[in-house]
Structure 1
Amino acid sequence: MKLENKSQYQNIPNYYEDEIDLYELWLTIKKYKKLIFAIVIVSLIIATLYTFLTPRVYTVENTLFLPNLKTINDTLFSSSSGSKTSDRSIFNKNDIKNLLSNLDKYDENTLKNYLKLNDDEIQTLKSIKVSDIKRGNLLTIRIDVQDIALAKNILNKILDYINNLNLIKESLQQNKLLLEKERDNLYAKIVEYKFLIKKLKSFNHQRDNLYLGFDPYGALLDVEHKYNLILETLKTYNKFNKITYLSDPIYPNKPSKPKTKLIIAVSFITSLMFGIFLAFFIEWIKNAQKRYEKNN
């Protein structure tokens, strides 16, 4: 009876063999600590060499100002609605942003021709990024360069590229001509209405108003208001006729790439995890061999 009970207990599987023993894990790590330490040291040396050998990249930024140059329709619309401001402009922010963003997609030869860069400038330029500033007609442009001394020249050439685009130049010229033509037409109407009012002073005011079908005094005020708005818009065209930078470029105090601290930290963590995994794997292989030899 006792033998039967003993055989029954022997057939019961030992579930505790599959449980994780933290102490055994610690002993395994301690056993292979030299291997783990060596992997971490080698990884840190490689990461350090990479950060020293990789060329430094600096991010230089500046803010583009897009003048709010209204078209003739916006100018006359604002006069009829009583508002003197309009959010619409010839320099459409989204269009300019897309044009600048596309520069980063071109190959070196195309970019060199478009921006008229020399060999040193095209080699040092790594990327062009544009972001929107919600307040006002402003865009932030960032360039990544290896030679920070050439950053200002590159930014100026990007600005020249935008201002010299036929799309921008033709739009400016066309709208300015339309404004000047409308200015002359309005001035002719002002002269006409003033002459008519002067003539009406010798007649009965009410009777002639009925005969004309409109109030010449009110019409004169409306035309003069539109005329003054056209003059203000033309002054803006003459003063702000191109995109400019708000200030000098903002230079960084340190390189943006490579990120030395981040690279070393990631290298340390990944190498440590790999070393521990390798130690467990080697120990598992040895234990598997021992079990195989014991069974055979």
Structure 2
Amino acid sequence: MQNNTQYIEEDKIDLRELFTVLKKRKKLIWGVTALLTIVAAAFVFTATQWWQVNATLEIGKYIDQKTGKEIYLENGSGVSERLKVQYIDVYEHVKDRDSKIQSINASKKNPQFISITALGKENKLALNEIQKVIDDLQNKHRKIIDEIIANKQSTLDQIDRDIFQVNHNKIPKVTESIEYIRKVQLPSLDKKIVAVESNLKNSIREKDEAIKNLTSLNGEASLAALRMAQIQGLEYKISENEIKLIDLNNQKQELMSTTLPALEREIESLKRIDLASLQEKRHLTILSMQPHNYKNTKIVGSIITQDKPVKPKKALIIIVAFITGLMLSTFLAFFLEFINQGPKKEEIEV
């Protein structure tokens, strides 16, 4: 119990000694603290002030008419990395700049949104720095949009050429073929058929007369032989005309039942399918070229400027300097006291 009481007494004495030291060295403590605080205040009020400007961009996009989906002009993550190299890494070792891009980051939730932060010795300088990035990106994406529209214009021109080809080449050619068959080939075949039928009838009539004459030639062997030769020649001629007639009728039937229907179906297909399909493609292509389908990279909301500089942080620096000065001066006070009391303790021990 006596030992515990002694320890408590020693602790009380030590605590009193601490407060005694602080009271004894209070001028030193407050002096050092005030000095560091004044130095910090002098620094923050004379240091260069930096103003911060922030902007959020949305990457440009266009609508795909086939799927109806929005397609972004570039991937946001790739854009942010490219801009970091172009506007931060390249100027990393350049000193004494009046403005600079501080950060460029793609949103984690949606990479197509990019946040840009710029610092400047004036708000206007930081604003100009950020505007430079925005203009560069918008110009690049405007070129991409123009290229897409140019490709669609090229597609439209090709469609117009195809439509012209159908209207002024394919359809007229098929129509001309139909007209040629109807006005030339079929009448020509009809004339040939009539002629062959006439020849066939004549040959049959001549054969019949030759057969009658043959029966009337009794006993005239030479004349009978001649008549038989004539009859054979007429039979050959009849057979030949019959074959010609069949061939001509087959040709006519082929034209009327196969060739003409096929050409009529072809012209119908050209008008109803090919031409209609081309017209539909043309309509969709024109719709896809409308300005409302294309959106260039834009600022989301507005560019945010600050009413006060973000650097240096005056209040924070002064408070930190005050606390640091207080802690340093307190440590210095105890250190000096320790040095001063060291020899006295040694003398007492001796």
Cα deviation, 1:119-166, whole Å, max 9, x if unaligned, reads xxx83114332233546943232210002233343333223333455x
CA distance 1:268–1:232, shift in 2 (3 Å): farther
TM-score (norm 1): 0.65
The residue that corresponds to 1:34 in the other structure is 27
Cα deviation, 1:100-136, whole Å, max 9, x if unaligned, reads 222112237989xxxxxxxxxx831143322335469
The separation in 2 between residues aligned to 1:243 and 1:170, in whole angstroms, is: 12
- Which of 149, 162, 180 lines up with 2:153 in the alignment? 180
The separation in 2 between residues aligned to 1:169 and 1:110, in whole angstroms, is: 30
The residue that corresponds to 2:82 in the other structure is 99
The separation in 2 between residues aligned to 1:276 and 1:263, in whole angstroms, is: 20
- How far the C-alpha of 1:190 sits from its partner, in A, is 8.0
- How far the C-alpha of 1:257 sits from its partner, in A, is 0.7
SS of structure 2 residue aligned to 1:56? coil
The residue that corresponds to 1:161 in the other structure is 136
- How far the C-alpha of 1:272 sits from its partner, in A, is 0.9
The residue that corresponds to 2:117 in the other structure is 142
Letter in structure 2 aligned against 1:234: M
Letter in structure 2 aligned against 1:49: A
CA distance 1:247–1:90, shift in 2 (3 Å): same
- Which of 209, 221, 234 lines up with 2:289 in the alignment? 234
- How far the C-alpha of 1:55 sits from its partner, in A, is 1.0
SS of structure 1 residue aligned to 2:57? strand
- How far the C-alpha of 1:227 sits from its partner, in A, is 5.5
How many residue pairs align between the two structures? Answer: 248
The residue that corresponds to 2:16 in the other structure is 23
Letter in structure 2 aligned against 1:277: F
Q: Structure 2 unaligned runs (5+)?
A: 176-260
The residue that corresponds to 1:89 in the other structure is 72
CA distance 1:43–1:222, shift in 2 (3 Å): farther
Cα deviation, 1:65-113, whole Å, max 9, x if unaligned, reads 422135xxxx36xx3xxx5223x412321122112222112237989xx
SS of structure 2 residue aligned to 1:55? coil
The separation in 1 between residues aligned to 2:88 and 2:113, in whole angstroms, is: 19
CA distance 1:223–1:135, shift in 2 (3 Å): farther
CA distance 1:189–1:44, shift in 2 (3 Å): same
CA distance 1:170–1:62, shift in 2 (3 Å): closer
Alpha carbons 2:55, 2:303 under 8 Å: kept: yes
CA distance 1:238–1:90, shift in 2 (3 Å): same
The separation in 2 between residues aligned to 1:253 and 1:149, in whole angstroms, is: 12
Alpha carbons 1:69, 1:236 under 8 Å: kept: no
Letter in structure 2 aligned against 1:253: D
**Does the alignment pair 1:53 with 2:46?**
yes
The separation in 2 between residues aligned to 1:154 and 1:38, in whole angstroms, is: 44
The separation in 2 between residues aligned to 1:110 and 1:172, in whole angstroms, is: 34
SS of structure 2 residue aligned to 1:254? coil
Letter in structure 1 aligned against 2:89: K
The separation in 2 between residues aligned to 1:233 and 1:289, in whole angstroms, is: 94
The residue that corresponds to 2:340 in the other structure is 286
The separation in 2 between residues aligned to 1:227 and 1:17, in whole angstroms, is: 102
The residue that corresponds to 1:64 in the other structure is 57
The separation in 2 between residues aligned to 1:185 and 1:290, in whole angstroms, is: 106
Q: Map residues 215-254 of structure 1 onto 2, 5 A cutoff.
A: 224=280, 230-236=285-291, 240=295, 242-246=296-300, 249-254=303-308
User: How large is the Cα RMSD of the aligned pairs?
Assistant: 4.3
The separation in 1 between residues aligned to 2:129 and 2:299, in whole angstroms, is: 13
- How far the C-alpha of 1:180 sits from its partner, in A, is 3.2
- How far the C-alpha of 1:245 sits from its partner, in A, is 3.4
The residue that corresponds to 2:105 in the other structure is 131
The separation in 2 between residues aligned to 1:289 and 1:18, in whole angstroms, is: 21
Letter in structure 2 aligned against 1:179: K
The separation in 2 between residues aligned to 1:23 and 1:109, in whole angstroms, is: 56
- How far the C-alpha of 1:244 sits from its partner, in A, is 3.8
Q: Indicate the structure (1 or 2) with the bigger Cα radius of gyration.
A: 2
Alpha carbons 1:97, 1:131 under 8 Å: kept: yes
TM-score (norm 2): 0.56
